[in-house]
Structure 1
């Protein structure tokens, strides 16, 4: 299993919209082939910083999602609202 952690720092004016967008998109991501879970977390000290944690069967399933229309449409909405470049890590359980 592959765990994908993504850190996103948004403009304050976009935070409420992002939360609503994620509520809509989360079930669609979770049902994507190879995804077993996806979760959104908000930083306790900086409410403009969010993390997504998603669980994938393997790197290829994650890449299939990253090439999908769902990802491209979602990223087109959120990316322009970043305060800084998103950071991402792909992790394996030892």
Structure 2
């Protein structure tokens, strides 16, 4: 299992649109094969910056999602709202304390 982290910065006037789109898509994304967790975070000091954290069983599962019609639809609606280039990381979880 690995974690995908995506940092996104939005035009302040477009944040409500992003949140509506995310809420309309989050269950579908979370129910994608191989997706084990989906979380959305907002930066405390810069409210136009958001992060998604998603846990995937395998890189293949993430790639299948990224090549799906669902991703293409979600990304098309999201990328037009950015005010900066998104940044993404794929990381392996090394440790976790409950």
Q: CA deviation at 1:22?
A: 0.8
Which structure has the larger Rg?
2
Are the counterparts in 1 of residues 8 and 86 from structure 2 also a CA contact under 8 Å? yes
Q: CA deviation at 1:24?
A: 1.1
| Aligned-partner SS, 1:84 | coil
In the alignment, structure 1 residue 66 sits paired with structure 2 residue 66: yes
Q: Which runs of 5+ in 1 are unaligned?
A: none
Q: CA deviation at 1:16?
A: 0.7
**CA displacement, residues 37-88 of structure 1 (integer Å, 9 cap, x when unaligned):** 1010011011100000000001000000000001000111110111111000
After the TM superposition, list the runs of 4 or more consecutive aligned residues in structure 1 that deviate by more than 6 angstroms.
none
Higher strand share: 1
Q: Which runs of 5+ in 2 are unaligned?
A: none
TM-score scaled by length of structure 2? 0.93
| Aligned-partner SS, 1:63 | helix
| Aligned-partner SS, 1:33 | coil
After TM superposition, list the pairs within 5 Å mapping 1:45-84 onto structure 2: 45-84=45-84
- Identify the residue that residue 85 of structure 2 maps to in structure 1: 85
- Residue correspondences, number: 94
TM-score scaled by length of structure 1? 0.97
Pairwise CA RMSD of aligned residues? 0.7
